[in-house]
Structure formats: structure tokens, C-alpha cells
Amino acid sequence: MTQQTSMEREARNILVQNDRGGYTIPTEGLYPYQWNWDSAFAALGFAEFDIDRAWQELETLFSGQWSNGMVPHILFHKPDPGYYPGPDVWGGTGPVPSSGISQPPIAPSFARMIWAKDRAAGEARLRALYPKMLAWVRWFMDWRLDRGAVCITHPWEAGRDNAPDWDSAMAMIDPQGVGDYTRRDTGHVNPEMRPTKYDYDRYIWLVQLGNRLGWNEARLLEENPFRIADPTMTFTLLRTARDLLAIGTELGLDTSSLPDDIATLEAGAETLWNPDLRCYDSRNAKTDTFAGCVSNASFLCWYAGIARPEMSAQLDRIMDAAAYPVPSHDPTSPKFDAKRYWRGPTWAVMNMLIGVGLEEMNQSQGHALRDATAQLISTFGFAEYFDPTNGDPAGGNSFTWTAAVWLAWAGRH
Ligand code: DGY
């Protein structure tokens, strides 16, 4: 049996073992529920060997959509005491117990990729998802724009929990009254690979604030001190709007809002261009100041259909600076921390989004990144993330989205 075949078999097994019946958990123990963008990756992985299950993953995700269009970042389908903060702390107001924030909107783009593998039979399922996906875009456009760029209201919303991008905004939060709580994550993985207590106090304080305000976006806009225009959200929403326009046009569905949305988001993306850094950056919407961070999210520009020679040069520099790229934070920065979650480690999922974008725009770095990611996973396994200096696997293991990246992209040479 070739190495590729055994890797493929292992990757499929991970998806099957993490399947909880209609949805897939990211990994046993650490993340025992349905996470939004993890689920989109799971669907893409399933599409390689069980197309019905792929659609079902997305349908279950959208079963938790709120009446205002928001699709939560966690759906708590079944109680699990091994995770904190659970549904009672969040107080989500949707049809399924949930968190009160969203996550990078990649599911619509992935639905289009899945449809490409299932054109005839998949059409009815895509048609049923389309208005829900459109409503999700509307929610972002109505509530989360700052000069056309998409803002997060909690670090968990970008999926890049403890990225240095948020450091100055986190420092503005005084987590008074957060009270006692018991973290569960550090019981599952090495605390040195996780956010600190300083971070967690602020994460929980922001959850308590949202719960107290009933997750009312208008009130959060006024009262939440944390509001960052972020490249992860902006680039993924821009691509999603483009993909929905393509789907809707082909299927003869209502696309009337999308051309304006795309123009707004394209202009918004340019407000994330930091001329001093010569890179796309996060921007604090409260202070209109840049974070000064070259992150792996900076390189999602191609995924959104935006190419800049300066970004190619940045990527060359970063790929040279890390043995196992793309690190989540610039290895030459004093804030780089090789094992601490989003402050340095390499994430196969981000590599895939960056690589897909590069390949679609015929940028030669795409192939190099795919090869580097395949080498990383085949050498070090299906970890949650990896130390970019030596490839050490970090965080949870048997991880759904890393397995899915192997099946859908890295393992397909
Ligand atoms: C966690 O609990 O660490 C998650 O990243 C929240 O989404």
C-alpha cells in the first residue's frame, strides 16, 4: 500500500470517528460540539468519499441559523461537560443551543466546491441552502462592516483566538466581575499550546457581555469595546459573496444584492492595507489603528481574488523564515511564539485557503505551499496545528479539519 493510500485511509477514519450523526466534532475531548468553519472543512473532506454526508454536514450547520441570519460558531447539539463555556454561559437565542457569535463564512464557498463534485443530484440541496447562505451574508453586511471591512466582536469569531492582532484591543478590556470559572481546554492539551488566563478572562468577559445584551447587535455595537476589522472575515466573506453570485446566476436565483456587496467588500479589503507594513493587516475599528501584524490571514487575499506583488514578496519572505510555513504570526516578530496556538503555529486549514487562492490566480507559490503542507501532514500527522520551526504536532490530535485538508487538497497531487 502506498503512503498516500494509507494517509487517505487514516484521514477518512478520522472523519468517520469524529462524526456524531449529521455533524462532525473537530476532535474528541477538546472540542466536543459542531464548530462552524471546522464543519465546512469536514463537509469538503466527506465530499471525497460520501457526498450525501457532505451536504448533511452543511444542512446541520444551517439548522442552527438565527432568525437574524447569523450562523453561530458553535452548535451545542448534545450536552458535554468537557467543554467550557457551554450553552448556559452563552445564552444563544437560536433554534439550536449555540454560541452568540459567528465564524469565518467559508461554508458557502465550500458548498460551491461540493456542488462541482455533485452537479445533478446536489442542485436541489444547494438551492435549499442558498437563501440561508444569502441571509448570513446579509447579517454580516448589516451589522459588521467598518468602512466596508468585516469586524469581529470577539477573538473567537475570527477563529484566530489569541492572535497578536488583538493584543492592543484586549489590553483595553478590564475583565472586572468575570468571576470564577474552570477552563476545560488545559485539561485536554498542554497549557503552553493554549491561550493564557489573561486571554481567557477577556474571552469570558466578552461572552458575559453579549449574553447580558441578549446578543442584540445594535447594543453590542455601542457597548462592546472589542471591534476589529479583520482580514479573515473580510476575505472569506468577499469570496463567499462572489461564489454566491456565481451559484445564483447559474441557478437563476435572486442575486440582486451581491454585486453591491462585492464592491463594498472590495473597498473594505483595501482599508486593511497597512502601507507601513506593506501587508494586509487587522485594523481596530474603535481607534482606526493597525495591529502591525503579518499573519497567515494576511495571505487570504488571493482566496478573495485579490493579488498584489507586495503580498507575493511577503509570502516569499515568510516561507523562507519558517521551516514549515505558513506560520500564523511573523517569525521575525518579538511576539512570535512557535507553539502557542495562533501566535506562531502553522495551520493546515489556513494553508489550504491561501493555497487554493494562489493556485486559482496562477501564482506559483500555490504549488510550493501544497507540497509543503503535504509534507508537514505526512511527516507529523493529523494534528490541530504545527510548530513552524520544527513541525512538532501541537494542540488536539486526530483533527477533523487537518484530515479534510489532506483529502480535499494537500494529499491530491
Ligand atoms: C476554544 O474554545 O478554544 C475555541 O477556539 C472557541 O471557539
**Across 33-56, average pLDDT:** 98
Q: Which atom belonging to ligand 1 lies closest to the Cα atom of 84?
A: 2
Reported as a pLDDT band with limits 50, 70 and 90, residue 149 is very high
Q: Are 340 and 192 in contact (CB under 8 A)?
A: yes
Q: Whose CA is nearest to atom 7 of ligand 1?
A: 156
Q: What are the pLDDT digits (tens) for 187-208?
A: 999 999 999 999 999 999 999 9
Q: Which atom belonging to ligand 1 lies closest to the Cα atom of 74?
A: 7
Q: Whose CA is nearest to atom 6 of ligand 1?
A: 156
CA of 161 to the centre of ligand 1 (A): 7
pLDDT at 39: 98
Mean pLDDT of the chain: 97
pLDDT at 225: 97
Residue 280: beta bridge partners?
A: 273
pLDDT at 354: 98
Reported as a pLDDT band with limits 50, 70 and 90, residue 377 is very high
Reported as a pLDDT band with limits 50, 70 and 90, residue 1 is very low
Q: Which three cell numbers stand for residue 160?
A: 484566530
Does 225 sit behind a cis peptide bond, omega within 30 degrees of 0 on the bond before it? no
Chain center to CA of 35? 10
Work out the widest C-alpha separation in the chain, in whole angstroms.
59
CA of 31 to the centre of ligand 1 (A): 8
Share of the chain above pLDDT 70, in %: 99
Q: Whose CA is nearest to atom 4 of ligand 1?
A: 156
**Across 39-50, average pLDDT:** 98
Pocket test for ligand 1, best of 161, 162, 182 (most atoms within 8 A of CB): 161
- Check pLDDT > 90 for residue 3: no
pLDDT at 112: 98
Q: Which atom belonging to ligand 1 lies closest to the Cα atom of 83?
A: 2
Question: What residues act catalytically?
Answer: 161, 384
Pocket test for ligand 1, best of 25, 27, 30, 31 (most atoms within 8 A of CB): 31
- Check pLDDT > 60 for residue 178: yes
pLDDT at 4: 55
Q: Which three cell numbers stand for residue 297?
A: 490571514
Residues in contact with ligand 1 by the CB-under-6-Å rule are 73, 156, 161, 185
pLDDT at 326: 98
CA of 247 to the centre of ligand 1 (A): 31
- Check pLDDT > 90 for residue 388: yes
Q: What are the pLDDT digits (tens) for 253-301?
A: 999 999 999 999 999 999 999 999 999 999 999 999 999 999 999 999 9
SS3 content of the chain, % helix, strand, coil (to 5): 50, 10, 40
CA of 156 to the centre of ligand 1 (A): 6
**Across 303-314, average pLDDT:** 98
- Check pLDDT > 80 for residue 328: yes
**Across 129-151, average pLDDT:** 98
Q: Which atom belonging to ligand 1 lies closest to the Cα atom of 99?
A: 7
Q: Which helix (H) or strand (E) holds 402?
A: helix 400-405
Is the pTM higher than 0.85? The answer reads yes
How many residues are given for the chain? 413
pLDDT at 67: 98
Following CA atoms 241, 373, 114, 36 in sequence, which dihedral angle do they give, to the nearest 10 degrees? -60
CA of 32 to the centre of ligand 1 (A): 11
Q: Which three cell numbers stand for residue 352?
A: 489550504
pLDDT at 5: 83
